[in-house]
Amino acid sequence: MGTRGPDAVRVNLSVNGKGRVVALEPRVSLLDALREHLDLTGSKKGCDQGTCGACTVWVDGRRVLACLTLAITCEGREVTTIEGLADGDELHPMQRAFCEHDAFQCGYCTPGQIMSAVALLEEGHAESDAEIAEWMSGNLCRCAAYPNIRAAVRDVRDQAGGE
Protein backbone atom coordinates (compact mmCIF):
# COMPACT_ATOMS: atom_id res chain seq x y z
CA MET A 1 0.00 0.00 0.00
CA GLY A 2 2.99 2.43 -0.21
CA THR A 3 2.55 5.96 1.10
CA ARG A 4 3.02 9.05 -1.03
CA GLY A 5 3.87 11.77 1.44
CA PRO A 6 3.08 12.90 4.95
CA ASP A 7 -0.51 13.81 4.11
CA ALA A 8 -1.40 10.42 2.60
CA VAL A 9 -4.67 8.85 3.67
CA ARG A 10 -5.95 5.33 3.22
CA VAL A 11 -8.43 5.20 0.34
CA ASN A 12 -10.59 2.15 -0.35
CA LEU A 13 -11.52 1.94 -4.01
CA SER A 14 -13.57 -0.59 -5.93
CA VAL A 15 -12.15 -0.72 -9.44
CA ASN A 16 -13.44 -3.12 -12.07
CA GLY A 17 -15.19 -5.13 -9.37
CA LYS A 18 -12.15 -5.54 -7.13
CA GLY A 19 -11.45 -3.80 -3.84
CA ARG A 20 -8.18 -1.91 -3.75
CA VAL A 21 -6.59 0.02 -0.89
CA VAL A 22 -4.12 2.79 -1.65
CA ALA A 23 -2.42 5.51 0.34
CA LEU A 24 -2.96 8.81 -1.43
CA GLU A 25 -2.69 12.47 -0.72
CA PRO A 26 -6.25 13.87 -0.72
CA ARG A 27 -5.60 15.98 -3.83
CA VAL A 28 -4.67 13.00 -6.08
CA SER A 29 -6.92 12.68 -9.11
CA LEU A 30 -8.68 9.45 -9.92
CA LEU A 31 -6.64 9.32 -13.13
CA ASP A 32 -3.33 9.51 -11.27
CA ALA A 33 -4.53 6.96 -8.71
CA LEU A 34 -5.48 4.54 -11.49
CA ARG A 35 -2.33 5.02 -13.55
CA GLU A 36 0.36 5.61 -10.94
CA HIS A 37 -0.88 3.67 -7.92
CA LEU A 38 -2.97 0.84 -9.36
CA ASP A 39 -1.05 0.27 -12.64
CA LEU A 40 -4.23 0.63 -14.71
CA THR A 41 -2.77 2.62 -17.59
CA GLY A 42 -5.61 2.22 -20.11
CA SER A 43 -7.14 5.58 -19.21
CA LYS A 44 -4.94 8.22 -20.79
CA LYS A 45 -3.77 11.60 -19.59
CA GLY A 46 -4.34 13.88 -22.54
CA CYS A 47 -4.92 17.46 -21.47
CA ASP A 48 -5.22 16.98 -17.68
CA GLN A 49 -7.82 19.78 -17.81
CA GLY A 50 -11.03 17.90 -18.64
CA THR A 51 -11.28 19.02 -22.26
CA CYS A 52 -10.14 15.98 -24.29
CA GLY A 53 -11.98 12.99 -22.76
CA ALA A 54 -9.01 10.60 -23.02
CA CYS A 55 -9.38 9.83 -19.31
CA THR A 56 -13.09 8.93 -19.43
CA VAL A 57 -14.08 6.19 -16.97
CA TRP A 58 -17.34 5.32 -15.26
CA VAL A 59 -18.13 5.97 -11.62
CA ASP A 60 -21.28 4.13 -10.59
CA GLY A 61 -22.04 3.64 -14.28
CA ARG A 62 -21.82 7.31 -15.23
CA ARG A 63 -19.16 8.88 -17.41
CA VAL A 64 -16.63 11.00 -15.55
CA LEU A 65 -13.37 12.67 -16.46
CA ALA A 66 -10.86 10.95 -14.21
CA CYS A 67 -8.43 13.87 -14.42
CA LEU A 68 -10.99 16.17 -12.77
CA THR A 69 -12.26 13.67 -10.18
CA LEU A 70 -10.53 13.32 -6.84
CA ALA A 71 -9.81 9.67 -6.07
CA ILE A 72 -10.92 10.08 -2.47
CA THR A 73 -14.44 11.01 -3.65
CA CYS A 74 -14.77 7.56 -5.21
CA GLU A 75 -14.71 5.64 -1.94
CA GLY A 76 -17.86 3.53 -1.70
CA ARG A 77 -18.48 3.84 -5.45
CA GLU A 78 -17.72 1.49 -8.34
CA VAL A 79 -15.09 2.68 -10.80
CA THR A 80 -14.94 1.00 -14.20
CA THR A 81 -12.01 1.51 -16.54
CA ILE A 82 -11.32 0.25 -20.05
CA GLU A 83 -9.51 -2.70 -18.45
CA GLY A 84 -12.81 -3.75 -16.84
CA LEU A 85 -14.90 -3.61 -20.00
CA ALA A 86 -13.94 -6.96 -21.54
CA ASP A 87 -15.23 -10.22 -20.12
CA GLY A 88 -11.97 -12.07 -19.56
CA ASP A 89 -10.43 -12.59 -23.00
CA GLU A 90 -13.74 -11.75 -24.72
CA LEU A 91 -13.75 -8.14 -25.92
CA HIS A 92 -16.78 -5.98 -25.30
CA PRO A 93 -18.85 -5.55 -28.50
CA MET A 94 -17.76 -1.89 -28.69
CA GLN A 95 -14.10 -2.86 -28.48
CA ARG A 96 -14.63 -5.35 -31.32
CA ALA A 97 -16.53 -2.75 -33.37
CA PHE A 98 -13.72 -0.21 -32.95
CA CYS A 99 -11.31 -2.79 -34.36
CA GLU A 100 -13.64 -3.85 -37.18
CA HIS A 101 -14.36 -0.25 -38.24
CA ASP A 102 -10.79 0.96 -37.83
CA ALA A 103 -12.15 3.56 -35.41
CA PHE A 104 -8.74 4.66 -34.23
CA GLN A 105 -5.44 5.67 -35.72
CA CYS A 106 -2.87 6.50 -33.06
CA GLY A 107 -5.11 4.90 -30.41
CA TYR A 108 -4.40 7.41 -27.66
CA CYS A 109 -8.00 8.57 -27.28
CA THR A 110 -9.49 5.12 -27.91
CA PRO A 111 -10.04 3.99 -24.29
CA GLY A 112 -11.96 7.18 -23.46
CA GLN A 113 -13.84 7.03 -26.76
CA ILE A 114 -14.92 3.43 -26.09
CA MET A 115 -16.01 4.16 -22.51
CA SER A 116 -18.10 7.11 -23.74
CA ALA A 117 -19.51 5.16 -26.68
CA VAL A 118 -20.75 2.31 -24.48
CA ALA A 119 -22.25 4.82 -22.05
CA LEU A 120 -24.01 6.82 -24.75
CA LEU A 121 -25.71 3.66 -26.00
CA GLU A 122 -26.85 2.80 -22.49
CA GLU A 123 -28.10 6.38 -22.09
CA GLY A 124 -30.09 6.07 -25.32
CA HIS A 125 -28.26 8.80 -27.24
CA ALA A 126 -27.49 7.06 -30.52
CA GLU A 127 -30.55 7.63 -32.72
CA SER A 128 -28.62 9.48 -35.43
CA ASP A 129 -25.08 10.41 -36.41
CA ALA A 130 -25.77 13.96 -35.23
CA GLU A 131 -26.88 12.70 -31.81
CA ILE A 132 -23.88 10.37 -31.54
CA ALA A 133 -21.56 13.27 -32.46
CA GLU A 134 -23.21 15.54 -29.89
CA TRP A 135 -23.02 13.03 -27.03
CA MET A 136 -19.44 12.08 -27.95
CA SER A 137 -18.35 15.71 -28.29
CA GLY A 138 -16.42 15.61 -25.02
CA ASN A 139 -14.05 13.02 -26.50
CA LEU A 140 -11.58 14.49 -28.94
CA CYS A 141 -9.64 12.54 -31.56
CA ARG A 142 -6.64 14.37 -32.95
CA CYS A 143 -6.46 11.85 -35.82
CA ALA A 144 -10.07 12.69 -36.84
CA ALA A 145 -11.36 9.12 -36.87
CA TYR A 146 -14.86 10.41 -36.10
CA PRO A 147 -16.67 8.80 -39.08
CA ASN A 148 -15.26 5.40 -38.13
CA ILE A 149 -16.09 5.95 -34.45
CA ARG A 150 -19.71 6.74 -35.38
CA ALA A 151 -19.79 3.65 -37.62
CA ALA A 152 -18.63 1.49 -34.69
CA VAL A 153 -21.30 2.99 -32.41
CA ARG A 154 -24.00 2.43 -35.06
CA ASP A 155 -22.85 -1.16 -35.54
CA VAL A 156 -23.13 -1.98 -31.82
CA ARG A 157 -26.43 -0.10 -31.60
CA ASP A 158 -27.84 -2.07 -34.54
CA GLN A 159 -26.58 -5.40 -33.20
CA ALA A 160 -28.16 -4.70 -29.82
CA GLY A 161 -31.42 -3.71 -31.49
CA GLY A 162 -31.52 -6.94 -33.48
CA GLU A 163 -31.16 -9.26 -30.49
> What pLDDT, on the 0 to 100 scale, is given for residue 5?
72
CATH superfamily of 9-84: Beta-grasp domain (3.10.20.30)
Residue 133 has pLDDT above 80, yes or no: yes
Are 29 and 69 spatial neighbours (Cβ–Cβ below 8 Å)? yes
**According to the 3-state scheme, what is the secondary structure of the chain?**
CCCCCCCCEEEEEEECCEEEEEEECCCCEHHHHHHHHCCCCCCCCCCCCCCCCCCEEEECCEEEEHHHCEHHHHCCCEEECHHHCCECCECCHHHHHHHHCCCCCCCCCHHHHHHHHHHHHHHCCCCCHHHHHHHCCCCCCCCCCHHHHHHHHHHHHHHHHCC
Cα–Cα distance, 28 to 159 (Å, whole number): 39
**Cα gap 54→42, rounded to integer Å:** 10
Give pLDDT tens digits for 18-52. 999 999 999 999 999 999 999 999 999 999 999 99
- What pLDDT sits at residue 163? 57
Please report, for the chain, the start and end positions of each structural domain, with discontinuous segments joined by +.
Answer: 9-84, 93-161
CATH code: domain 93-161 is: 1.10.150.120
pLDDT digits (tens, 9 = 90+) for 86-112: 999 999 999 999 999 999 999 999 999
pLDDT higher than threshold 60 for residue 1: no
Mean of pLDDT over the chain: 95
